[in-house]
Amino acid sequence: MQPHAPAPASAPAPHPTNDPLENLKTTGKWVAVMLTISYMFGDLTVARQLNPDPRMNSWFLMSSPIPTILACFLFVAGVTWWGPQYMRDRKPISGLRPYMMAYNALQAGMGGWFGSYSFVCQRCDYSGNPQAMRMLRVGYWYLLSKFADFIDTVSKVRPSYHYVC
């Protein structure tokens, strides 16, 4: 009887490294991939089906999605690579708590859907009436506030890389 040959050694399973900076960079790469897929999906399925709203053509960042996508890529690179590299030997930024609390209170009051608007789906009003224009401006300022959220997150990049919120 022949003795059994030992089973061939399999490659070790990949596992996350213990280096928080490397884990953060890997996460950033995956976020960039998801951002690209999300943009392509939106461009191919939604943007090509709907005409742009002519009321917003002259508004900052509204003529094309490219500047917003680039800002998102820069944000991801900033919080997953540049920020941690920069903060590696520095202390966290202090004194931002009151500003962040005020900003969060502003975010909570940013609604505009009170009155004749519903929390469920309804047709979009493309007219120039004052209520429709007010909601258009509320949505626009909400979009701009998301860029302020980028700053909120960047302010939390600290030497302990896993603390990025």
Residue-wise pLDDT tens digits, 121-160? 778 788 889 988 988 888 888 888 888 788 777 666 544 4
Residue 68 lies in a domain: yes
What pLDDT is recorded for position 20? 72
Digit-coded pLDDT (tens) for 29-86: 888 888 888 888 877 777 777 777 888 888 988 888 888 888 888 888 888 888 777 7
Domain limits for position 53 = 20-163
One-letter amino acid of 26? T
Give the number of domains in the chain: 1
Structural domain contains residue 76: yes
* Residue 6 counted as domain residue: no
Q: Is residue 111 part of a domain?
A: yes
**Joined tokens for residue 141:** 């300022």
Residue 2: predicted pLDDT: 54
pLDDT number for residue 9? 53
* Burial per residue of 117-152, b for 16 or more beta-carbon CB atoms within 10 angstroms, e otherwise: eeeeeeeeeeeeeeeeeebbeeeeeeeeeeeeebeb
Asked, for residue 77, whether it belongs to a domain, the answer is yes
Angle between helices 97-108 and 130-154 (to 10 degrees): 150
